[in-house]
Chains A and B, each alone.
Chain A
Amino acid sequence: MSFTAAAERTMIKLDRVTKQYGNKTAVHELSLDIAPGELFAFLGPNGAGKTTTIKMMCGLLFPTSGAVLIGGHDLRRDGDRARQLLSYVPDQPFLYEKLTGREFLQFIADMYGLRPARAAERIDEVIELFELQEFVDDLTERYSHGMRQRTVFASALVHEPSVLIVDEPTVGLDPHSVRRLKDLLRRQADRGTTVFLSSHSLDVVEELADRIAIVEHGRLIACGTFKALREQAAVDGSLEDVFLTLTRQASETDDKVTK
């Protein structure tokens, strides 16, 4: 599916989403429309509201106002259907230490209601895709960071989600694994999966993303293709230069408003 054709429809929709932590506003009236098959990058400094936004997209947190829709399903009203469509790989992924990798994959396949034959087929596929054969029958407590990350990605894809949400996936990975991860994310998007990527690795984002959003203090300060962002920032450099310029401008505007 081509990205432009798919852009007609929306897979992830955030409609004027605000999230408050007591008196502090973590996310302020954020609106996003992300199409099927789009690889969308979500950037921002620490504390800008990225993880809060992601948690609202998974149904872990509820918006104070506004709505989050996945595949047309409102996460607040129709959460289980929305969650059926997505997979979330957090920055600190969870694995059951006393399950083997294969048992974990089976558990996830059962949870998403895959038929036994289909589950077995998909488990074999992701084991091969992520090259888990050597350790998939060992308990996950013995896995290294890279092995854990590969197993978590395999589990995230075993049920072929329509939306893949990934938070800081490159932390702690060696260059070979990062390359493999980048290829995987691109391939998933090309197959029609909507990939929502939050990362501080700007080179990865620059290389992969169809569109990039930048948030600062919970507000969306820029959203568009890399080219559009360069024009907005009036910078002809890398994404790093663009990011630093835009966030600095936003801070200065904030300071002026405060004064």
Chain B
Amino acid sequence: MSDGQPINQALLFQGLRWRLLRNSWRLMLGQSSMRPFTILLVSLLVWMFVFGISWGGFLFLKTEVGVPLEGGIVGILLDLLFLSLAVLLIFSSGLILYGSLFTSAETAFLLARPVAADQVFAYKFQGAVAFSSWAFLLLGGPILIAYGLACDAPWYFYVLLPLFFLGFVLLPGSLGALCALLIVNYIPQRRKQVVGVCLAALALALGVWIYRMAQASPSTMWRDEMREAVTRLFSYFTFTGSPLAPSHWVSLGLRRALRGEVGSSLYYLALVWSNGLLLYLIAAVGSAWLYRRGYNRMATGGDLNSAVRAPRAPDKGGVPLVRPKKGTGLFSRCDRLLSAALPFVHPSTRLLIVKDFRTFRRDPQQWGQIVVFSGLMLLYFTNIRRFVENLTAPFQNSISFLNLCAIALLLCTYTGRFIYPLLSLEGRKFWILGLLPVRREQLLWGKFAFSTAGGLLIAEFLLLVSDFMLMMPLEAVLLHMLTVAVLAAGLSGLSVGLGACMPNFRETDPSKIAAGFGGTLNLVAGLLFLLLILGLMAAPWHAYSLLAEAEMNLSMPLAGVGVGLVLGLAVGVVSVVVPLRAGIRALRAMEF
């Protein structure tokens, strides 16, 4: 019989986390000193790259453009940055926490033991928030440090920076956790629909905002002086500066620290921490009431999605006795259409592509995000004519390039968030694929083809809408289409290849795989590739057109555009071939 002496469960779980981290680190060091070294080096390089770009940007704004960095415009940008981060963190920590609280094997193990529900919640909460926000620390940290350096910030700005950040992540993290607990407890059967409706509502709000921006005095907007136009544009962002928004408190607190107003900065820091801790306390107390109840509801009534299951004979061993009917719904037709559209692909590869598509379409959390982002972009593109009724050619030129950049970023998100985890998600069942009578490289080529085709379909459509609305010349449209094709193929090659080089078969949550080290490395590699391709393939033509329009002496002949195109295509080929070859090598060497 156990002694039953009271134990500090919080310390117990901290000890567990410490041992797990220590053992993982030792294992990594023991296997190869190259891996931790590479992780550190790459992290440092990424950090320095972001820092360099940000510092240069801030100095340019300060000295060349004359924007006061401590002023309102940068303040609005910071407000927007932290508000976007808050929205992302609510969704990502909520989804990660939902997965780790209700569907992981570890929680079933813990809940069958005499541990308090709120202690399990706290342990899982810390992991989820750390997981969903560490990438921001890597990418957001250097931006804010560069901001401080560009403004000659006092030393305590750098001390307060991590404190503000840590306090801030508590708020969206706790809100996401509360949402997960409430949804599972009160609407377990419709939890996916609720997430979908929330995303749609968010998209709608953003859409209305964009529409209102487009409606407001479009014909005069660009005739004004640049400064006035920018001021008017920023007036549409004032909602980010609501005095009740915690993102505004962080932004304000940091700017006060920058100006040397320590007392005021500490006031905002206290505001952020006290609200963050209060919300965390509410979530933790709520979990003591709701966690076990929600687990029970999830396990018994929350998963009634029978549409994809084969009909079963009534409880005779749980084995389907009736063959599943051949699907006649829209989605099943899509599967068959996809299969029929790929007659040139090897039958085995075709089957794998259809399998990936089927898995993807059955997960609304995945395609829902793509639909929302694409929908928003489409809304903006279709309203663009309101902006550009009297648009001069240079603005038309610049906006089309910026739209191309936005589409490229959407592609980068799509491949990083959904394609990179594909191979890892095969998980412990990977041996099934490993034993199939297909060459292992076909697995990767299948995923590459799936990713490229999906990316091309979405991106080329958006691009055509944008260029049509902007009335771009044919040569520009063709150039953009080629750029997007190279981006779709290159980003797919990177994501599929790196996904095979750094698989994580133990993780079942795609958002955790994408937010892990490999996923972040893939995202950064994708962003660098994107910058390179846009810089080589599209930027020269746009620069050439701008200069020609201004009737300036062309220091860059048109041949430069051609050279950029050739170089871009070469980089595209390399970014497909090199990662995929590395992935294939890793896959061949993989043991099951």
* A binding-site residues for B, Cβ under 8 Å: 19-22, 26, 45-48, 55, 58-62, 79-81, 83-84, 88, 90, 92, 94, 96-100, 103, 107-108, 110-115, 118, 139, 159-162, 217
Residue among A88, A100, A115 making CB contact with B23, cutoff 8 Å: A100
With both beta carbons as reference points, the residue of chain A lying nearest to B293 in the complex is identified as A62
B18 shortest CB reach to chain A, Å: 11
Q: What's the least CB distance linking A22 to chain B, in Å?
A: 5
The answer to whether B1 and A96 touch across the interface, beta carbons within 8 angstroms, is: no
Chain B residues with a Cβ under 8 A of chain A = 1-7, 9, 12, 15-16, 19-20, 23-24, 27, 105-106, 108-109, 111-116, 292-293, 295-296, 299-301, 304, 315-319, 506
Give the shortest distance, in Å, between B500 (CB) and chain A (any CB). 21
The CA-CA distance from A158 to B259 in the complex, in Å, is 60
Whether A83 pairs with B114 at a CB distance below 8 angstroms is yes
CA distance A99 to B12 in the complex (A): 14
Name A22's contact: one of B114, B115, B304 (CB within 8 Å): B304
Decide if B2 touches A112 in the complex (CB within 8 Å).
yes
The count of A-to-B residue pairs whose CB atoms sit within 8 angstroms is 113
| CB-CB under 8 A for A99 and B300, given A111-B7, A111-B114, A115-B5 | no
Docked-complex contact B2 and A61, CB < 8 angstroms: no
Q: How far is the CA of A251 from the CA of B358 in the complex (A)?
A: 38
Q: Hey, which chain B residues are within 8 Å of A110, CB to CB?
A: 7, 12, 15
Q: Assess whether A90 is in contact with B7, with CB atoms less than 8 Å apart.
A: no
- Beta-carbon contact of A46 and B301 below 8 Å: no
Partner of A59, one of B6, B112, B316: B112
Nearest chain A residue, comparing its CB with the CB of B7: A113
State A114–B114 Cα separation when bound (angstroms): 13
Q: Which of A19, A62, A107 is within 8 Å of B16, CB to CB?
A: A107
Q: Is the CB of A84 within 8 A of B292?
A: no
- Measured CA separation A107–B315 after assembly (Å): 40
Task: Identify whether the interface residues of A are mostly helix, strand, loop, or mixed.
Answer: loop
Q: In the docked arrangement, what's the CA distance between A80 and B106, Å?
A: 18
The residue from B3, B16, B299 contacting A96, defined by CB atoms under 8 A apart: B16
Contact of A59 with B111 in the complex, beta carbons under 8 Å:
yes
Contacts of A55 in B (CB 8 A): 299
Min CB distance, A57 to chain B, in Å?
9
Q: Are B2 and A84 in contact, with the CB atoms below 8 A?
A: yes
Which residues of A lie under 8 Å from residue B112 when comparing CB positions?
Answer: 58-60, 83, 88, 90
Q: Is the CB of B1 within 8 A of A113?
A: no
Q: Report yes or no: B4 in contact with A84, Cβ–Cβ below 8 A.
A: yes
Which of A22, A48, A160 contacts B301, CB < 8 Å? A22
Judge whether A59 and B301 touch: CB under 8 Å: no
**13 A-B pairs with C-beta separation under 8 A:** A19-B300, A26-B300, A47-B315, A84-B4, A99-B23, A100-B23, A110-B7, A110-B12, A111-B115, A112-B3, A113-B4, A115-B5, A161-B1
Q: Are A139 and B1 in contact (CB under 8 A)?
A: no
Q: Separation in Å of the B504 CB from the closest CB of chain A?
A: 12
Cβ-neighbour of A99 out of B2, B19, B293, B301 (below 8 A): B19
Smallest beta-carbon distance B495→chain A, Å: 26
Does A160 lie within 8 Å of B2, measured CB to CB?
A: yes
CB distance B106 to A94 under 8 Å?
yes
Nearest A residue to B297 via CB reads A62
- Determine the chain B residues whose CB is within 8 A of the CB of A22 once the complex forms: 300-301, 304
Q: For the complex, give the distance between the alpha carbons of A90 and B506 in Å.
A: 19
Q: Which residues of A contact B3 (CB under 8 A)?
A: 112-115, 118
From B9, B12, B108, contact of A94 by CB (8 A): B108
Could you tell me the distance between the alpha carbons of A108 and B16 in the complex, rounded to whole angstroms? 11
Contacts of A103 in B (CB 8 A): 19, 23
Evaluate contact between A98 and B115: CB separation under 8 angstroms: no
User: For residue B317, which residues in chain A have a CB less than 8 angstroms away from its CB?
Assistant: 45-47
Q: Which residues of B contact A84 (CB under 8 A)?
A: 2, 4, 114
State the CA gap A106–B106 with chains docked (Å).
Answer: 17
| Cβ–Cβ < 8 Å partners of A161 in chain B | 1-2
B20 to chain A: which residues have CB within 8 Å? 96, 98-99
Kindly list the 4 A-B residue pairs having the minimum CB-CB distance in the complex, ordered from nearest.
Answer: A94-B109, A159-B2, A112-B2, A83-B114
Measured CB to CB, the nearest residue on chain B to A54 is: B112
Which chain B residues lie closer than 8 Å to A217 at the CB level? Answer: 315
Taking CB atoms, residues of chain A closer than 8 Å to B300 are: 19-22, 26, 61
* Inter-chain contacts of B12 with A (CB < 8 A): 107, 110-111
Partner of B295, one of A60, A81, A92: A60
Q: In the assembly, what is the distance between CA of A165 and CA of B254, in Å?
A: 56
**A80 engages B116 (CB within 8 Å):** yes
Q: Is the CB of A113 within 8 A of B5?
A: yes
Contact call A61/B299, Cβ cutoff below 8 A: yes
A21 contacts across to B, CB distance below 8 A:
300-301
In the complex, which residues of chain A have a beta carbon less than 8 angstroms from the beta carbon of B299?
55, 60-61
- Give the CA-CA distance A98 to B12 in the complex, in Å: 16
The smallest C-beta distance from A51 to any residue of chain B, in angstroms, reads: 11
* Alpha-carbon distance A19/B301, docked complex (angstroms): 11
